[in-house]
Amino acid sequence: MTIDVTVRPLRGSADRRRFIDLPWRIYADDPHWVAPLKSEVRGLMDAGRNPWFEHAEAAFFVAWRGDRVVGRISAQVDALVEEHMGRGTGQWGFFEAEDADAALALLKQAEEWLCRRGMTRALGPFSLSVWDEPGLLVEGFDQAPTVMMGHHRPEYAGLIEACGYRGVKDLLCYELDITQKMPALVRRLVTSTARNPRVRVRKVDKSRFDAEAAIILGILNDAWADNWGFIPLTDAEIAYAGKKLRPIVFEDLIRIAEYDGEPVAFMITLPDVNELTRDLDGRLFPFGWAKLLLRLRKPRTRTVRVPLMGVVKRLQSTPLAGQLAFTLIEEIRLATIADYGGKRAEIGWILEDNEGMKAIANALQTRINKVYRVYEKAL
């Protein structure tokens, strides 16, 4: 006899542990999954620590079959999402399910929670926001996730689509062998930019961390303002993200381009910290923290990830935009090889309809190695 699935909200610390620990069982047979740091997941879910909750609310649910947890999900309503993506837009995330019955029960619960708050459409997965882990992996299951990206079971897409969802936007990741020289055309553009006295490319100054972060976020807010799904970060979120990211920020991997003395472009590159934490099994204590700190003093990772880059909007349709982008990429590429032992880069995610960034990726002779999909359903 099949036991029905029941879904209920978290009821205390024991349920929270079950929610956080479930992926260890879901992905026990997946050699490419990398355990997240449990402290990071707890912090993300904690309204007292994560300033995202200053403009949003979330509920967290676990699915049970008898006395066994068989799935989890979050449902969230964000005032900034409604402002930038349309009134009535709710979201869900943290999705894991052992089977179709659990998936259906979880998504139904999330949808009911959103409807009670006046939402008329559901987007997901977002765990918890577009700045955390957006989208469901639908291509690239044979590779480990890079830092700050998700990894999912291949069957999840079918489970979600069976519940009435359709893909609304794909997020593309591109793989690049950075040990190879840039294509000849790109090298010529970089050389031309280097000879332009109006252009200066510099490393960030970590001793001025807050000021540098403000410059980068200013460019980002301008460059990405018209992108689908873009939600500006609040001052509190910028400070919170800066505190979390500071240990993996390295001056020669983050650069700002100036034109006539004005910051107009930037590129952020991060060592793939997943390579450094994989053997920690999600635990920083009692000894994981010391191991990670030691490894971060001078990280040597095969892969780096480029999560963010941008050029101010007024330059995006000019030849200078591409020149700046390629120059940033080339300077960081050389530093990555020389100082961090890097062999490959993952660039992205990039929106499927961001033709400018796709053109840059294609000029570098990259290939798409992962695709993450955001789903939508009318409620």
Of 43, 129, 146, 269, the closest CA to residue 137 belongs to: 146
Query: Is 376 among the domain residues?
Result: no
User: Residue 238 belongs to a domain with what CATH number?
Assistant: 3.40.630.30
| 196 & 88 share domain | no
| 182 & 157 share domain | no
The total of structural domains in the chain comes to 2
Here the tokens at position 31 are 């050699």
| 330 & 196 share domain | yes
Query: Is 139 among the domain residues?
Result: yes
Last residue of a domain, which of 170, 188, 206?
Answer: 170
| 249 & 356 share domain | yes
Last residue of a domain, which of 141, 170, 199?
Answer: 170
| 229 & 140 share domain | no
Query: Is 49 among the domain residues?
Result: yes
| 107 & 228 share domain | no
Last residue of a domain, which of 148, 170, 192?
Answer: 170
| 160 & 246 share domain | no
| Sequential pLDDT tens for the chain (379 residues) | 467 999 999 999 999 999 999 999 999 999 999 999 999 999 999 999 999 999 999 999 999 999 999 999 999 999 999 999 999 999 999 999 999 999 999 999 999 999 999 999 999 999 999 999 999 999 999 999 999 999 999 999 999 999 999 999 999 999 999 999 999 999 999 999 999 999 999 999 989 988 998 899 899 999 998 999 999 999 899 888 888 888 888 999 999 999 999 999 999 999 999 999 998 888 877 767 778 788 888 889 999 999 999 999 999 989 999 999 999 999 999 999 999 999 999 999 999 999 999 999 999 999 999 999 999 999 9
| 314 & 339 share domain | yes
| 187 & 154 share domain | no
| 49 & 134 share domain | yes
User: Structural domain of residue 334, as residue ranges?
Assistant: 175-371
Query: Is 98 among the domain residues?
Result: yes
